[in-house]
Structure 1
Amino acid sequence: MKIHVPDTAHFDALMVDWIDGQGRVCAVNALEARELAIKIADGESLPLERIYSSTSAQVLRGIARGDQPVRSGLPVWVNSPQYSEVPMIATVAADAARGIVVIKQPLPASVLGIGPELAERVEILSQMIGAATEACWCIEFLEPVDTSLAEDEIVERIFANQSRWRACNEAMARLYRVPDGTDFNMQPVSRYFPATEINRQMVRDLVRSNYRLDRAVAVDRRHDGTEMLVENDFRAAIKDGFLVRLWGTTRDIGAHREREQQLTDRADTMQDILSAAPDPILVVSEDGLLLAANPAAESVWGRTAEQVLGRPIQHFIETRQALDKLRQAVLSGEEGDGECELAVIAADGSRDVWRFRAARIEGEIRRYVLTARRKARRRARSLTEAAS
């Protein structure tokens, strides 16, 4: 049945778009362009999913291709710039020049059989996602993935099957440095989530974890093509054995991992330096427990690190109130040499006086670094020197 529609110029208060025979939006009226923040240049077109939900898009695509008859009173869901879906009632008619024309007006949720409370919850969730500071995303598979296939085939199809971004928020666009005025949701999924080996392994882990995975590391690409190390939390929607949707959150962990590597490199360097130092070096906690000792300390005093770590330093020092003396040395070190003399008891029971230089390490837990040098013993004067 062919539905006659008057000149659309009279529908200034209604949203109108035209869909060509390929099932793409080729034109919109001024109201729809303004309300949905879209613009179509002459000769260009947009996928239906830019304006409609996936279900509504499938129905309209079937009508545009002639697979289904034109209809009036068709309920559709329209994607708003605020990442929510607005229920509308549409009249679809044939247009000789541009395929079909779709004329819409907002429709109360109750008319579509959705209770006011449910509609309000959907609106609240949409607003929360849109305003979230963490990057939220959703990948919708226009070609659902059969989860009964072999693992490798599932992984391959997750990357190969036709899919699109849906309801990705502003934080997601900022994270991937999408230029102002460019809709992230209209970009190809593969542009930011390429089928690299590390990403394939992440998806393989997702499949093995029954499509629920947290803190999964991937290497994505920003809008300009530069790589970005990210961490994802994944959830999935599976209907009738087919994966139809993945969603979750993404965090840029590149700076964090770089900082971790820098700290690890610095720790390795310091360990090499301490291992090569000829003088004994100790690290002591605020309450006097030995936290670390370099190889020179083990060699000179005859005790391995396993034998002394975690024990009070006073157990190995004969001088009374050794910790107080070290603390005093730290305080005097701010104005003087910061040293004190302590008698150390070696593993064989021998005792020698050592000069300790103490320095404080500030942080959440205060610690002291001690560097020891054996105090030079006075040599007895020769008889000749005594007689002179």
Structure 2
Amino acid sequence: MIETRDVNERMNTALDMDSLLIDWIDVEGRISRISDREARELAIDPRTVIGMPLESVYSGVSASLIRAVARGERTADRSFPVWMNSGPYGEMAMVASAFADGPNGLAILKQPLTPPTLGIGAELVERVEILSQMIGAATDACWCIEFLEPVDTSLAEEEIVEQIFRNRSRWRACNEAMSRLYRVPDDQDFNTQPVSRYFPATEINRRMVRDLVRSNYRLDRAQAVDRRHDNSEMLVENDFRAAVKDGLLIRLWGTTRDIGIHRKREQQLYDRAETMLDILSATPDPILVISDDGLLQAANPAAETAWGRPVDQMLGRPLQHFVETRNVLEKLLQAALEEEEAGDSECDLVIISASDSRDSWRFRAARIEGEMRRYVLTARKKPRRKSRLTAQEALS
């Protein structure tokens, strides 16, 4: 029988071989050592991962399995599949075996799995390619934040928010539209950039994350102020989804839209509307807006003053209710049509004021372009005709 000491010495000798993909995990489930070959295969600096959580090397599900084995919470099969993080956003399928290596902790020995070895590899690769192509070709900015240090969702709200911004994280599988949105130079990969560079822990962003936590990590049309690559601010709108496993937030993903341009346009339209309201309010002649079926939709203060009716009592009612002249809508629509064709058309209407007096007003009508056909009316009071007696008296 071979002594246990000899077995351990032989195993340790094998584990030190540079040709093996191997890392060592401590009882807390953190990386304590990594072989040179594994560092080369995964394109990482072995010194930077010491003491780091398993998610810095393994995908989320694989990390959870290995952590449970290291803590003695479950027993690993003789061999089991794992996914390793390779490069900035790639993954590599491997078959792993776990060995207890005394004071060195748990040794995870791995061998890459090629598509032929997997059997279903060709179909799996095709599906991954299809999804990658769909996301890559999307015009919307698609992103994913993976937490190398998962966030404990059992904590108080403010601590969860703090961990989302503080815990180590990285971008994964962000598409070209994301790079364009944040103006990342063509020679740089968005996925290798720090998350905090574009998603800083500002107060408005913290409020958005609070809303995300309160909505159970599913939130749409959430506004934030991000930073572009050149450090300029950008008002964006996000749709959030999340992966939470065993009470730990592993990743967030979603889409982002620049709404700064639309907000600026809205402000310009608002300013123009305010200016127009000021002009209309100062205009001494009544101005009305009616719908295609004759309902009063807007009126300026001059209309209220001229006819003695509060505007809010006129809105939504047919204009015919305040006009003694018959077929008022047909007359106005005809006037609007002639205005478009000849450029000069008017019609006279008798308006009934709140005091029940009648006065003749001359109206001009013009159609407003838009999805809903509307008409703007301007009115000017016609002077009363002098009686014949009065005229004769004036001549005498």
Query: Does 2:219 align with 1:210?
Result: no
Give RMSD over aligned pairs.
4.2
CA contact (8 A) 2:92 2:112 kept: no
2:102 maps to what in 1? none
2:381 counterpart letter in structure 1? R
Q: Secondary structure at the match of 2:303?
A: helix
Q: Secondary structure at the match of 2:154?
A: coil
Cα deviation, residue 273, structure 1: 2.2
Query: Does 2:177 align with 1:171?
Result: yes
1:351 maps to what in 2? 358
Equivalent of residue 386 in structure 1, options 374, 378, 395: 395
Give the distance between the partners of 2:62 and 2:343, measured in 1 at CA: 79
CA contact (8 A) 1:281 1:296 kept: yes
CA contact (8 A) 1:78 1:88 kept: no
Q: TM-score, normalised by structure 1?
A: 0.75
Give the distance between the partners of 1:147 and 1:78, measured in 2 at CA: 24
2:91 counterpart letter in structure 1? E
Structure that is richer in helix per residue: 2
Query: Does 2:232 align with 1:223?
Result: no
Identity over aligned pairs, percent:
66
Give the distance between the partners of 2:391 and 2:139, measured in 1 at CA: 81
1:142 maps to what in 2? 148
Give the distance between the partners of 1:308 and 1:25, measured in 2 at CA: 83
Query: Does 2:329 align with 1:338?
Result: no
2:165 counterpart letter in structure 1? F
2:376 maps to what in 1? 369
Cα deviation, residue 179, structure 1: 0.6
CA contact (8 A) 2:18 2:35 kept: no
* Correspondences of 1:186-335 after superposition (within 5 Å): 186-334=192-340, 335=342
1:346 counterpart letter in structure 2? S
Q: Structure 1 residues 306, 170: closer, same or farther in 2, change over 3 A?
A: same
2:210 counterpart letter in structure 1? R
2:367 maps to what in 1? 360
CA contact (8 A) 1:84 1:123 kept: no
Give the distance between the partners of 1:323 and 1:253, measured in 2 at CA: 42
Count of equivalent residues:
350
Cα deviation, residue 309, structure 1: 1.7
Cα deviation, residue 369, structure 1: 0.6
Q: Which runs of 5+ in 1 are unaligned?
A: 9-15, 63-72, 91-101
Q: TM-score, normalised by structure 2?
A: 0.74
Cα deviation, residue 127, structure 1: 3.0
Cα deviation, residue 129, structure 1: 2.0
Cα deviation, residue 85, structure 1: 3.1
Cα deviation, residue 196, structure 1: 0.4
Q: Structure 1 residues 76, 150: closer, same or farther in 2, change over 3 A?
A: closer
In the TM superposition, what whole-angstrom CA distance separates every residue of 1:355-383 from its partner, at most 9, and x where no partner exists? Answer: 11222111111111111110012334444
In the TM superposition, what whole-angstrom CA distance separates every residue of 1:70-91 from its partner, at most 9, and x where no partner exists? Answer: xxx996545478x65343579x
Q: Which runs of 5+ in 2 are unaligned?
A: 1-11, 22-31, 68-79, 97-108
CA contact (8 A) 1:56 1:77 kept: no
1:229 counterpart letter in structure 2? L
Q: Secondary structure at the match of 1:181?
A: coil
Cα deviation, residue 206, structure 1: 0.8
